[in-house]
Amino acid sequence: MPTKRFFTLSGSCPDQIGIIARIASFIAEHKGWILESSYHADDGDSDHDSRYFMRMQVRADSLPFHLAEFRERFAPLAEELSMDWKISDSAVKRRVVVMVSKQEHCLYDLLARWQSRELDIEIPCVISNHDTFKAFVEWHGIPFHHVPISADNRHAAHAEIARIYDEVKGDTMVLARYMQILPAEMCTRYPGQVINIHHSFLPSFVGARPYHQAFRRGVKLIGATCHYVTPELDQGPIIEQDVIRIDHSDAVEDMVRYGKDIEKAVLARGLRYHLEDRVLLHANKTVIFR
């Protein structure tokens, strides 16, 4: 990754001739220095027309204006191309709100990567429906919010989570083994912002206790899936997946232990792709520029 400050321009539009030529010409006309570029054309199917996806990194100090003016100048071209697009600044750290229940491994891994600056982010708070990790999180100097959830207070609890997320100006919400189902209205309110780690190789074994489901089916591979959260349980666009081979001698407890390692790695990779604007969404699919 470039060490100097850069802007990341990403987006998609209906496929047509001259997309990259026009965008590259726009940047060149303003003396912009393209550091990295990636493209993909999707031929579409019976439900979707062909679409073009792109991601560019432009050295910030090569341009004669800042991000706000870039947006203003680029908007007319994007409109001509019917492009869904965004641009971000590498100097602005993303604000990631972590949510957790009683499983610690993903939380520990994310905080270790944050503390070592492997993930160069801000964590304005951690939210949990249990107070198990309060002391651990606060030891890191991060505010901890205990928001219990029961059948009687579910609506109020989710409203409180949304209030906290908005108050701390969160960019991304990570469900790091947060074992509660978010309501549809929250998923709709934060599209493309909520990331989950599911402990199975989706679309297999959705819902609760996937390792137990896998054990009963006698599978030979188990995995983990990092995906965006949508109103449909465990059906959101997939960002990253990985698997490990098992055999008949492995008990459920072995599978859970193996799975924890996969979950940590898959969540970290998926979150990084998201934070670096390498994930482009279209319908229920993703294009990932690694």
Measured distance CA(226)–CA(199) in Å, rounded: 9
Strands (E), 96-187: 96-100, 126-128, 144-146, 172-175
Query: What does the DSSP assignment read for 190-255?
Result: STTTEEEEESS-TTSS-SS-HHHHHHHHT-SEEEEEEEE--SSTT-SPEEEEEEEE--TT--HHHH
What is the CA angle 179-148-131, rounded to 5? 85
How is residue 95 annotated by DSSP? B
234 annotated active-site: yes
38 DSSP β-pair partners = 55
Closest by CA position to 12, among listed 108, 82, 91, 115: 82
Query: What does the DSSP assignment read for 10-46?
Result: EEEEE--TTHHHHHHHHHHHTT--EEEEEEEEE---S
Catalytic residue among 166, 234, 261, 277: 234
Pairing of strands 194-198, 172-175: parallel
Measured distance CA(240)–CA(12) in Å, rounded: 20
Q: Please provide residue 273's backbone torsions phi and psi, each rounded to the nearest 5 degrees.
A: -55, -45
Q: Which residues are catalytic?
A: 234
